[in-house]
Structure formats: structure tokens, C-alpha cells
Structure 1
Amino acid sequence: MHIPTEQVLVNLALYDGVRDDLQRDQGIWVGADGTIRAVGPVDDVLTEAGDARVVDLHGDHVMPGLTNMHVHLSLGLPGHFGDEVHRSNLAELVLLMADSARRTLHSGVTTARLVGESRYADFALRKGIERGAVDGPRIFTAGHALCCTGGHGWEADALEADGADGFRRLTRQQIRAGADLIKVCISGGIAGEFESIDTPQLLDDELAAVIRVAHDWGRKVTAHAGPAESVRRAVELGLDCVEHGYELTDEVTRLMAERGVWYVPTIVVSRCEQFFRDAGVPGWLMDRALSAGPRHWESLQHAIRNGVPIALGSDMPPHAGYDETTATVRELEFMVDAGMPVADALKSATIRPAQWLGQADTLGSVEVGKHADLLVLRDDPTRSVSALRTLHAVLKGGVSYRDDHGRLRDAR
């Protein structure tokens, strides 16, 4: 079990997740409980912290830990990954997910929103991480995704139902298991062999039943969705968030912005040919994913232009290699390429996901009273999100889980 050490980080430049600019000559006092006790000009923080251990970061940059809002730790894509998941018993599955969780944390993702896992293993993993038995990000999970009979994700352990009563039952089952949110598949996608992206898959009364039950129990609902018409209907029924949105329109994104419906674009999944090849996915899946790319890109640009609240999510494993970085960082770079200002992109991976999760009082920024979930970079993230390629240290709750240069041990 990892125990936080009271320490003061000095000689650093800070992006705090609140202001858009960089603050130089800052100090961060991390308490023995793993929360931030003071942050500000270094001399003021040192005075306040007294004789706490001092760690010199040699002028590097500190920012909040990242949140990835579309994660599957038991990724069930057709191919090598899916085969490994499905032939594993429950104990083996938890170990596979624990390894992915550890890699996710080391990649700088200190919080992950899971949107469809297998055999309720995510709840055991969450408990292990919370108790300190397993290294991994803070987990918020939907449990199993929900779909209609034969709907998107059924091969990857989404639970099937038909009719409003069936979906009410499945929603309550996930809440009973401890789900923090509900994930429902309302259209086809790229990974279903006998569907297309624009196949509508839930009737209005079925989706309305999910939303009603979830909201009554204080949970939000996010939906795997491709076509604009399915998204429009879902938004009008009270949906909270859209995943992928492969074929959004200007009109629908305006409606999403008006209703405050969030968007997690996962833009990497329609332009990750090498990952698909490495995963051994069938040719039809790769062709469908890559051919969706141009329209998916337009969807993201519509959402940016019309002010839809956007949060980062990769769908690919957060730590997966992509263009000499990770899928998480590449997703951020793509969002900027599509027209999102750097300041907004950074917030889409820090404070804004915390807001959606209802955790803005404890996560998402470097402020007094919040968890000391911190990244240390060589380069300035406010100039370019590609600075995250220079990540070399990760703290979660004040504990160092990655320290490439040994600087967090260089204390006096």
C-alpha cells in the first residue's frame, strides 16, 4: 500500500487547470493525506509548509493529472484483445485489467471513466485500487454497457434487453452492482459485424426507461451513438453525454450545446490503422473504422464550432502506443488539429471531466483541498498539448507512481 509523504514541490512552472496561462516560480505543498494544502508563489508556500520535505523539480512544468472519459480495461474488440478477454477466467480477467490500469496510470491518466466492462470485474478492480492493493487510476464505471438483442457490443459483454421493462431491469442491475453512470448503445458502430454505424437500435420508450431510472437514482447516462438522428432523439429524451458521434450535424450539435449534452469524440478510433493491425482485427472492422474518419472529423468540428461541452476519451487503451506517444495524448493533439484551442483541449482532459463526474471539488485542477494528482513535464503544455509527450513523473494522491528522472526522490 502506498502512503503519501508530506512534501513541497518547488522550482516549477504551473498549469493549474483553472487559469489558461502558466504560473512560474510556484510551489505546491502536498499534505500527508495526499491532498494539496497550499499552492502559490514558492516563498509563501515554503513559509506555510514549515519543515516539510522539499522536492526540487528543476524548472519543469506541473499540471493536473489527466482524465480519460472513454476507457475499456477489458477491451473486447474482435481480434487478439477480444480473444484474450473471452478465454480468461474471472481471476485472469481481473489481472489483465489490473495490468492495463497500471499502464494507464503511468501514462498520466489519473482518473478513468469506464464505459463497458466484462463480468463485473471492474468493481473488484475499483475496490482494489481504492484500498491501495493495485496501482491504477481513480475509477468511475458504468459496469456493463446495455444494448438491444444483437445490438452494438453484445459480443463484448454488453448486456442485452428488449422493451422498456427489460432496460429498466438492466439499469437497476448496474446501479445495484455499484455503477457510477449508465452506458447504453443506441446505434450501430464500427465493431459490430452485422450492423452499420447508422443502424438505430433502441426505441424511444427503451431509452427513456434507462434515462428515467438512472436519473431517479442520481446517475447520468452516456450513449454510444453514430448517426445524427439517433443522437437528436436521445438528446430530446434527456441524454447526458454522447460517445463517438460519428455522423453529427451542425443542427444536432447546436441542440446538444443548447441542452448541455456533453460529447466524448474518441477521434482516434477512426484513424488508428496501425493499432488495428497490431490488434489483429478483421478487415471489415478496419475498413469501417477508417472509412468513418472523414465524417467523424466533421462531427468533431461541428461540436467545437457550436460550443458543445467536450471531454477527452480515447476508446483505445489510454496507454496504447500511437505515433510515438499514447492514444490519450494523440486524442488531444487531434482535437487541437480539428480547431479546439489549446486551453480548451487541456481543460477537456482535466477540470471539465471532473465537472461531468460531479467531482470538481476534489479533482481536475491544482487547488487547495483537492487530491494531489499531478503530472510533471519537461515542456510547457499551455503552448502545445504535445508537451505531454515529455511527461516523466506521475503522482496520484501525493504518491509517486512514475519518476523517470528520480527527481521526486531528490529531496532535502
Structure 2
Amino acid sequence: MGGAFVAPGLINMHTHFSLSLPGPVGEELEAMDAAGIALYMADGARRTLLNGVTTVRCVAEKANADFALRRAIEGGWVQGPRIYTAGRALACTGGHGHGSDDTMECDGADAFARGVRTQIRAGADLIKLMISGGIAGEHETISTPQLSTAEMASAISTAHAWGRKVTAHAGPAGVIAEAVRLGLDCVEHGYELTPDVCREMAEAGTSLVPTLIVTRSGAFFDELGVPAWMQERSLGAGERHIASYRMALEAGVEVLLGSDMPPFWPFEGTSAAVRELEHMHAFGLDAPATLRAGTLGPARWLGIDANTGSIAEGKWADLIALAEDPLESPSALRTLDFVMRGGVVVRDDGRVRR
């Protein structure tokens, strides 16, 4: 490898290949038929892999296209990362994400149990719940609680009975604490955590995918034509978001890489996935722990650490090569010039001579 630094392929735990935010670009995506969505997602999967992300966890996709895309990648028909998916996220009527096909509306404990079983029937590897409001919902706030205790308990217990972990879009501390006590396995975003809730998460083994880039992505929103109300809510939550992340680190909560933005998206001189890792490092995680948060930590959460997440004999050869050392800084990932997935070279910027 000519003196390169070799690392495991990155694992992005908060991916939407069919992401559509408010604004003209999102409206265009929402207007696509199933075939158009599938082709759009296939292109995103290819670009994601070429940017060094060899495994993704999809946490709400449209038209069941994530299942078709997973089969196509596994069958070698299209190029992309390994996909673990939640299928459609489950929300209450009018809840976060309700206006898109990537979310299924449910009301009441029985409906949420049915929703979980529906996604598992389709092939879901995990379940995603929308338990609070968020940045992209016009008629809600980040701190709006959206699921009852009975609804959360039903969804989580049903998923666990079927051997599936549960993650939740969640902002406010109170609703997160309640879900953690009910057995929630992972929190997405965690915009408004408290030290007490972080301690509960650490004690319960509940992971956090902080998606720090979400509250510092004005240029991305401008590119998509995202309206002012959403930009103001997002950027305005930035300082509180960082404070919550630091509380989680202090409490010993395991944090994992998740970009929310498409992992491959060109952003501030690199990809969204790498920029997220840089934020995680800049706001308190040391460089080796940052690399683990993008590799072995996610592999353990997904239950695939026997096969990937680190470099060892017998594991899948999901590898990336860099000109600089990622144990010194995650910014070394900006020098990525080689990607291998399952022993097959999918990107080689001239390092290896055939």
C-alpha cells in the first residue's frame, strides 16, 4: 500500500438515501415514483461506498426501496455499502416525518405493535420510532413529546420479542428518559439532554447517535432551498446540542457516527460523514475514540463485530486507506484514496498498481 494508513471501512448509523427536507429539492424527490426513488437511492449508495462508508444503518426510507436496494447490492447488481435498515419509521398521526412515505403513522399501543410487525415482515433489521418533535416538522417543536408511554412500551417490547433493537428520533430529556426506562437501545440526535438522563443512558447501555452536523449545516440547507423557519430552528439549537453531546461523553454514553445528511454529500471540503466525525472530535472525543465511533462501536451495536468494524484475520475485508493517520485526527479521512468492500477494490486513486 505504499506506506498508507489502513483502517476499517466506516459505518454510518443514521442514513437516509431518500432524504427529502422542506423546500424545492425535497418536493422534487417527494414527487418521484418508486422506480425514480430506487434509482436515486442506488446512486447515493454508490457514492457513499466510494467515500469510504462500507456499511450503513438506514433509519427511514421511502417506497420500501431500501429492501430492494439491499437485495441489489447483495446480488452484485449495483454498487453500495452493506445495508441494515429500519424500513419506515413509526410515528403518531401528524408526528415527526408524517408527510413522507418513509414514515408510517400509528395511534395506540396495538397500532404501534402492528407497525413494528409490518416493518419486520418487510425485512427490517431494526425499528425506528419518532418519539418527539424535531427540526424538520413545521407544526411541532424539538421538545414536543409525541408518543404515549403505552405506545412506546408496545413498540419496544414487540421489537425486542422479535429480536430487533429499537432506536428513536428524540430531542427532549424527559421523553428520552422514559423511553430508556422502557428499554430503548439508541437515541438519535438528543438535542436537549441533561446529566441525569445521560447517566441513565450510560447505565442502561443506550447509545447516542448525536448527528452534530444537523445543527451546523446552513450551507447544506441553502443548497436544498430549505425554508427559513427550519434553518432558524436547526442553527438555533446548535449550542444546546453541543452541550448535550458533552454531557453524554462525561456520563460515559457510547456515541456512534451518524450523519443524517447523506453520508457522501460534499460538505465543507469533505463528505458529510467525515465532517460529522470531525465535529465529534472537536467537541470532546479523542481521535482513537472517534475512529471507534465510526467503526467498531457501530459494528457492535449492529451485532456484526465478529465480521467487521476492525481489521482482523477472518473478518470481511472492508478497508479504507489514507495518506495520514486517523489515530492523530479524524481529518486524516480527508486523504482517503482507496476503498475495498468484501475484498473487492471499489476505489483506487492510483495507489495500487495492477
Matching residue of 1:91: 35
Alpha-carbon separation, structure 2, partners of 1:220 and 1:255:
18
**Structure with greater strand percent:** 1
Shift of 1:369: 0.8
The letter of the residue matching 1:337 is A
Q: What SS class does the counterpart of residue 3 from structure 2 fall into?
A: strand
Residues 289-343 of structure 1: CA deviation (Å, up to 9, x unaligned): 0001000000110011111011100001101122101111111111111111111
Larger Rg: 1
Contact 1:75 1:81 in 2 (8 A): no
Corresponding residue for residue 60 of structure 2: 116
Distance 2:20 2:61 in 1: 9
SS for the counterpart of 1:190 is coil
Q: CA RMSD in A?
A: 0.8
Question: Of residues 249, 265, 270 in structure 2, which corresponds to 1:325?
Answer: 270
**AA at the equivalent of 2:16:** H
Decide whether the 8 Å contact of 1:329 with 1:388 is kept in 2. Answer: yes
Residue aligned with 1:229, SS: helix
Q: 1:241 aligns with which of 183, 186, 201?
A: 186
| CA offsets 1:96-127 (integer angstroms, 9 cap, x no match) | 00000011001110000000001111000000
Superposed counterparts of 1:12-411, under 5 Å: 57-157=1-101, 158-405=103-350, 407-408=351-352, 410-411=353-354
Q: Describe the SS at the equivalent of 1:176.
A: helix
**Deviations 1:67-121 (Å, cap 9, x if unpaired)?**
0000000002112442232111111110000000011001110000000001111
TM score, norm. by length of structure 2: 0.99
What is the aligned residue count?
353
Deviation per residue, 1:131-187 (Å, 9 max, x gap): 010100000000000100000011132110100011011110000000000000000
Identity %, equivalent residues = 56
CA distance in 1, matches of 2:192, 2:185: 18
Quote the Cα distance in structure 2 between the aligned partners of 1:92 and 1:348: 33
Equivalent residues of 1:77, 1:156 under 8 A apart: no
* Paired AA for residue 187 in structure 1: S
Q: Residue type matched to 2:81 in 1?
A: P
Gaps spanning 5+ residues in structure 2: where?
none
Contact 1:264 1:310 in 2 (8 A): yes
- How far apart in 2 are the matches of 1:95 and 1:83? 17
